[in-house]
Structure 1
């Protein structure tokens, strides 16, 4: 039996799955790694941790397979977007990676916007936000000139891991689109942007499609993880692009809700000309010659993790959510905004912080948990509202990630989004998308669409409950007012966060 392996390098850990020729997910493994948060707004990781834990999950998958059936024909990757990995001439890491959810670069974003004006949007189809890679490069240039002088190449997280496993340096278009350095229309690094900020173009890696074969595992890596030599390695894509593939978002009538550390509403696009508003993003899809538009909630699953740590650190998520299932919509007059590390869509604001509005002495833990779930979903609904305002028809949404593991949350999504919400029968998220890229690359299927028909199946469909939907429509209007009415308060509190 032959297999392909999909590896997803997430923010909190790495996950790998093994898929056989029939399209069955045979086994999976995951390993955590730590975040480094030395100052408010800072979020970094050691790239070496990614490499070590990726090799550990690969080795674990091979250990689960009989010796005679360890023929992995192809490997591909998905990875957290935007994170800055800096290499010197000897391809050594110069400093810890600055991650997508690091918000130290507000001043650099303002500088980019002032310098390029409307040209930035025309070239990259995105605004300058703290999460993107270019502001991080400029921060290093300003604050760590001794590091800047040694930079010979920058990579994004999954691309660094793939380099360490193969010895080959590349970046795919779906991840490159999130750097603010890619000319989306021309599919090349932007000389104009590089010149504007004194960035040498040679530090930008060669660009490839997500389906491209970029090498094979180095012999000693294959030996260490228990694989046979010769496994083809494919470029892979950004986590959201691979998550879209793994959920079958491969045509213009498909929309995705993905709730991980962050939350994403993603909709397939045929071209890159759609007019965007409210800090929606447009990126290359991991499907060749396709794109997607996207809105982001920075603290989606992260908000629920925070609530669990605060309220029930010893309990399971299942136990925590069981209580919320018995609370009526509206959480007895309690509203939560998930701005724990700032927000992106529709408010690009690194200073805003979360709120619990309406607390009174009758509220219990279950009400707070329900309010957190509702607040995350309201935030995601702001992206859906922007899509609809732009003329996009959204009446069917595939839900993956943490939000797809709870019936209560799935029904809540249907009620708040006012759309049917589809749960998949074996949801593996971005790791499955990566495995599908490898399967198509190996010639198992003629296209991603055919592969999706074989691997992806619905488990359940949740329809809006009209009475609940009406309640949530009223609450959503109240939720939308919280940002503008608390923004100045949070700005005033900023000086006290590091005391």
Structure 2
């Protein structure tokens, strides 16, 4: 039996999958690493931690592996998007990586609009200037750390740096490059116009590849540290959302994905780059060659539930915390939550907005708050679905992955709020499986990624909307949509009191 490895470099941990030719996950390993948040809005990581934990994880993956490591044919990667890794002439890291959820760059986003213009930016990059993207981070370093920036030869994104350390080859692929705000998404090339207008040397942008392109093989140092063979072929991989789409079978028009991890995503396949959403949702290159996807983002989806658990139920498991959710009626007995813990992205690109519980009284119990958090996360994701529908997209079937797919009550809630059939897969591995599928396709196991999906991905269960719940949620969603405008000015006034 032959195998491939999918490496998913996330925000809190790296997850590594060993997958056989039938699409079965033979072994999986997860290794955590820390996140540094020195100030409100700051979020950084040490890239060396990604490398160290990946090497430890690969070694552990092979420790009790009964097969032959020489039969591991390929490896590919999924990674957290937007994070800035600056490298010098020797490809040494110049500073900690500034991550996707870092929001210090509001002034730089305005600078981009002032210099380039909002319409021109959308025409080239298909996306608005948001704090999480890479270009504002580059401008921030250029302004606040000018001596360090002068030493920068190139930049890459997190999984691209990890791949470089495993192979010695430095590249970026299109699906991740689309999230930098420097890529001409339709032309699939770096925008020299944006670079020149913002006084950035275009040579800082690395060579571009397709997600399934082969970049090299595992280096000798890595084989000695892990037990892998130098014959293992390495493929470029994709952004976590692109790989999540591949690993969920979102490979043709009409397919939609709901992914709930630290952040939450509603993602839909697009065959062309020419639809116009007026910048209300993201428009990125897919991991599938010459395809695209549109995407709405909730910044604090699973993070909202994790926050609630750590603050109010730190000694309990998530399963224990959610035990009583089914006993709480639709609408959480009049309690409403907006998941703006770290600001919001879709449809409100606002770094200063913060979360709210609305409608609290002394009759509410902890279980009401838990259900309200789940409903609030799902309402936020539904705002992206509403944008898609208003622009003519048919969304009647959604594949749900991540934390939101681990609980039947939450999946039924998604069906009722989204007004669509929800599908859970038998083996829900998300971006890691997408990375493995890119490796399998790169190794020519299949003629296409669709063929690979038919073999690797199987449906487990469907959840269909319950009409009475749908009607109640429509009324509650209309109330939810009012909260942002009612609280945004209050949150701006409170900003100076935050640490």
Instruction: Determine if the TM-score, normalized by the shorter chain, exceeds 0.5.
Output: yes
The answer on whether the counterparts of 1:278 and 1:386 sit within 8 Å (CA) in structure 2 is: no
Q: What per-residue deviation string (whole Å, max 9, x for no partner) do you get for residues 260-301 of structure 1?
A: 000000000000011114630000000111000000000000
Counterpart in the other structure of 1:76:
76
1:250–1:68: structure 2 CA closer, same or farther, 3 Å change rule? Answer: closer
Q: How does 1:371-382 map to 2 (within 5 A)?
A: 371-382=372-383
Tell me the distance in 1 between the aligned counterparts of 2:459 and 2:3: 23
Q: Is the 8 A contact 1:153 1:204 kept in 2?
A: yes
**Gap change, CA 1:67 and 1:388, over 3 Å in 2:** closer
Paired residue for 1:234?
A: 235
Cα shift readout 1:326-377 (whole Å, capped 9, x = no counterpart): 1001011000000000000000000000000001001111000000000000
Q: Is 1:214 aligned to residue 215 of structure 2? A: yes
| Counterpart position of 2:88 | 88
Unaligned runs of 5+ residues in structure 2 are none
Distance in 2, matches of 1:67 and 1:473, equals 53
Partners of 2:17 and 2:25 within 8 A in 1: yes
Matches within 5 A, 1:243-282: 243-277=244-278, 279-282=280-283
Q: Does the 8 A contact of 2:343 with 2:354 survive in 1?
A: yes
Structure-to-structure mapping, 1:427-442, within 5 angstroms: 427-442=428-443
Match of 1:134 in 2: 135
Decide whether the 8 Å contact of 1:71 with 1:227 is kept in 2: no
Task: Tell me if the contact between 1:278 and 1:345 (Cα under 8 Å) persists in the aligned partners.
Answer: no
| Offset from partner CA, 1:237-266 (integer Å, 9 cap, x none) | 000000000000000110000000000000
The 1:425/1:67 distance shift into structure 2, 3 A limit, reads closer
Cα distance, 1:22 vs structure 2: 2.2
1:103 equivalent in alignment to 2:103: yes
8 Å Cα contact 1:279/1:344 also seen in 2: no
Bigger mean CA offset, 58-67 vs 420-429: 58-67
Aligned to 1:15: 15
Shift of 1:70: 5.0
Q: Using the alignment, how far apart are the partners of 2:210 and 2:131 within structure 1?
A: 26
Tell me the alpha carbon deviations over residues 119-141 of structure 1, each in whole angstroms, 9 at most, x when there is no partner: 10000000000010000000001
The aligned runs of 1:280-299 (5 Å cut-off) are: 280-299=281-300
**Cα distance change on mapping 1:205 and 1:481 into 2, 3 Å:** same
Contact 1:262 1:298 in 2 (8 A): yes
8 Å Cα contact 2:73/2:232 also seen in 1: yes
Contact 1:105 1:139 survives alignment (8 Å): yes
Cα distance between partner residues in 2 of 1:325 and 1:76 = 40
SS for the counterpart of 1:332 is helix
Q: Show the counterpart of 1:419.
A: 420
Measure, in 2, the Cα distance between the counterparts of 1:18 and 1:159: 20
- Please give the alpha-carbon distance, in whole angstroms, between the structure 2 residues aligned to 1:398 and 1:443: 26
**Correspondences of 1:56-75 after superposition (within 5 Å):** 56-66=56-66, 68-75=68-75
Structure 1 runs not aligned, ≥5 long: none
Shift of 1:68: 3.5
- State the secondary structure of the residue aligned to 1:15: strand
SS of 1:185 mapped into structure 2: coil
Separation in 2, partners of 1:194, 1:299: 31
Indicate the SS of the match to 1:74: strand
Aligned to 1:178: 179
Aligned counterparts of 1:341 and 1:155: Cα–Cα separation in 2: 25
Equivalence for 1:188:
189
Mapped partners of 1:490, 1:69: distance in 2 = 55
Equivalent residues of 2:70, 2:231 under 8 A apart: no
The number of residue pairs the alignment matches comes to 498
Q: C-alpha offsets along residues 95-120 of structure 1, whole Å, 9 cap, x if unaligned?
A: 00000000000000011011111110
State how far apart, in whole Å, the 2-side matches of 1:154 and 1:115 are.
22
Indicate the SS of the match to 1:339: coil
- Structure 1 CA distance, aligned partners of 2:102 and 2:467? 40
1:125 maps to 126
The alpha-carbon deviation at position 57 of structure 1 amounts to 1.2
SS in 1 for 2:243: helix
Partners of 2:235 and 2:283 lie apart in 1 by 23
Matched, 1:389 2:390: yes
**Inter-partner Cα distance in structure 2 for 1:260 and 1:314:** 21
Q: Give, in angstroms, the shift of residue 69 of structure 1.
A: 5.0
* Cα-Cα RMSD: 0.8
Post-superposition CA distance 1:430-460 (Å, at most 9, x none)? 0000000000100111110000000101100
Q: Residues 68 and 189 (structure 1 numbering): CA distance in 2 closer, same or farther, change over 3 Å?
A: closer
Match of 1:360 in 2: 361
The separation in 1 between residues aligned to 2:378 and 2:21, in whole angstroms, is: 37
1:89 Cα shift?
Answer: 0.4
SS in 1 for 2:231: coil
Cα distance between partner residues in 1 of 2:63 and 2:277: 47
- For residues 441-460 of structure 1, the aligned pairs below 5 Å read 441-460=442-461
Conserved 8 A contact 1:278-1:346: no
What displacement does 1:75 show? 0.2
- Higher mean alpha-carbon deviation, 66-75 vs 432-441, is at 66-75
